[in-house]
Each structure stands twice: as C-alpha cells, then as structure tokens.
C-alpha cells in the first residue's frame, strides 16, 4: 500500500487489524470494550463502514464516535438515540450488534471465561467479574475477541474453567441449534489475527504481525492451530488511519494497552 506508515506501534497495528472485523457488518451496533476494541470500532465507522452504530460507552448512541478520555468543556457528543442498559438488551437480542471483548480464557471451541479461575465453583481460586452479558451476547449476535497478551494461559489446553460464552463445542450445542448458528468472527492478539474458519471450526491463523512466526504463535497457544502454507503479514496501518486514531485518542491511552508499548514491527 503506497501510503502505508513506516513507524507505528503494536497497539496501532492491533487497532487497524481489529477494525477489519467490522468492515462488512453493515448497520449494526459496534461495541468495543476496552481502549483498543473501542478505537477499532471507531476507526471502522470513520473509514470503511460509516453505517455502523456507535455507543458513548454510557447511555447514548452517537452518529460520530467520541474521542477517548477527558474532552473539552464545550464538547458536544453527536447523540442520535438513548441506549441505556435496559434497552441494550432489545438491541442485543435482535442480533444487530457486533461486540469485541477481551475474556481471560479462550479455549479451542471459542468458548470464553470472564468469571472464575481454578478451585471449585463454590470456592474459586481467583474470582473475576462474573458471567456478565457474555452468555446472551454469544448466542444472540457476532462477537470478536482482542487479547493483548497471547499465551497458553489465555488460549488454554483444556476447556475454560467457567464457560461464559458459547462456542463451537458439539457437547454443549443446544437442541435445535447448529454449530454454524454461532458466530465468532476475528481473534486479534499482540501476535496475530485468527478466526475459527479451520476444519470443524478450528482456530485458524489469518495473518502474522511483522516479525512474528507461526511457530511462535503455536508455542503460545495451548491447542493445535490451523496454519496454512503461507501466512500473510498483518497489513501496516496507513498514514491516514494513524491520523484518525490519533484524533480519536488524543490522550494516547492506546500507549498503555500492550506491555511496554512496543513498535508494530518487531525484529
């Protein structure tokens, strides 16, 4: 790409790669939880999918994404409708939403865990948030995942300690449902981009971030990945994309999202 940037951070590469998840969504609510997913959804709306609907992360939908963090006192958000928490479910259960979230565990079925680790259910070793809205999200609308630290504790060898969201697990498939009803889109990490498009919904490597090898991704994943003969490199952000990201994130919150804020091109 002629206007590809030469200098960019890994966070910026992940934002651009994550934005791609929303490219062909059409008119759905894009919900990015966390700085990188939120900037990704915002970038997608500002560039290749202007039909996306955008939340203010509180209680309104916006015609233009809000910049992150403190805004000038005279800032006017581009509100277009009210979307408080009770109304969120009217949207979620209609299926007109694509969420991108960062669970603590993701297993080979694409099931995820936001609730508890280790111990017993009555007395977990590490209690986290709880099931949150993951059960409803996962059975109602498409979802993508962002993982800032790709390792085999996140992508664990076994099944999630607690299954918050449904995946492509035949043993848990509800009666009358097909595995193809479940719609997990992209999995973006600090190493690569993946989807569940391998044989029998196996997690598949789509692209490697610059300087990362397929072996490195497999070593950091607790189960076998579907890896093709030649895996492309994740495209660098364009100069224009970096400018839009900078305007959406004027306080540079993206710099603190991946440990050490490394450059996008790793040697």
Cα–Cα distance measured from residue 99 to residue 52, given in angstroms and rounded to the nearest whole number: 12
Minimum distance of other proteins from residue 100's CB (angstroms) = 17
Phi, psi of 237 (to 5 degrees): -60, 150
Q: How far is Cα of residue 262 from the mean position of the Cα atoms in its chain? A: 19
Cα–Cα distance measured from residue 74 to residue 105, given in angstroms and rounded to the nearest whole number: 41
Q: 235 near 16, Cβ under 8 Å? A: yes
Minimum distance of other proteins from residue 56's CB (angstroms) = 6
Tokens of 23: 């490219």
Alpha helices in the chain (DSSP H): 10-19, 35-46, 85-92, 134-140, 214-219, 239-248
Minimum distance of other proteins from residue 255's CB (angstroms) = 18
Q: Interface with other proteins by CB under 8 A: which residues?
A: 56-60, 69-71, 84-86, 89, 92-93, 115-116, 119-136, 138-140, 162-167, 169, 172-177
Is the CB of 124 or the CB of 211 nearer to other proteins? 124
Is the CB of 128 or the CB of 239 nearer to other proteins? 128
Minimum distance of other proteins from residue 135's CB (angstroms) = 4
Is the CB of 218 or the CB of 253 nearer to other proteins? 253
Is the CB of 28 or the CB of 163 nearer to other proteins? 163
């Amino acid at each position: 790409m002629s206007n590809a940037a030469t200098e960019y951070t890994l966070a910026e590469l992940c934002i651009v790669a994550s934005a791609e998840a929303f490219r062909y969504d059409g008119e759905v609510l894009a919900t990015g939880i966390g700085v990188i997913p939120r900037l990704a959804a915002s970038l997608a709306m500002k560039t290749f999918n202007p039909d996306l609907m955008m939340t203010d992360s509180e209680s309104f939908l916006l015609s233009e994404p809000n910049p992150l963090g403190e805004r000038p006192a005279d800032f006017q958000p581009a509100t277009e409708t009210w979307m408080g928490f009770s109304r969120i479910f009217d949207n979620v259960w209609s299926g007109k939403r694509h969420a991108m979230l960062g669970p603590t565990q993701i297993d080979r079925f694409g099931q995820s865990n936001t609730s508890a680790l280790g111990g017993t259910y009555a007395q977990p070793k590490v209690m986290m948030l709880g099931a949150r809205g993951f059960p409803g999200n996962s059975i109602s609308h498409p979802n993508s995942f962002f993982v800032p630290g790709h390792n085999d504790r996140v992508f664990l060898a076994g099944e999630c300690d607690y299954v918050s969201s449904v995946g492509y697990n035949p043993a848990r498939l509800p009666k009358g449902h097909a595995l193809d009803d479940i719609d997990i889109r992209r999995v973006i990490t600090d190493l690569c981009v993946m989807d569940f498009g391998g044989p029998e919904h196996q997690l598949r490597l789509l692209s490697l971030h610059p300087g990362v090898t397929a072996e490195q991704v497999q070593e950091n994943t607790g189960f076998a990945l579907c890896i093709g003969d030649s895996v492309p490199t994740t495209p660098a952000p364009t100069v224009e994309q970096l400018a839009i990201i900078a305007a959406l994130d004027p306080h540079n919150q993206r710099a603190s999202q991946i440990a050490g804020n490394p450059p996008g091109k790793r040697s």
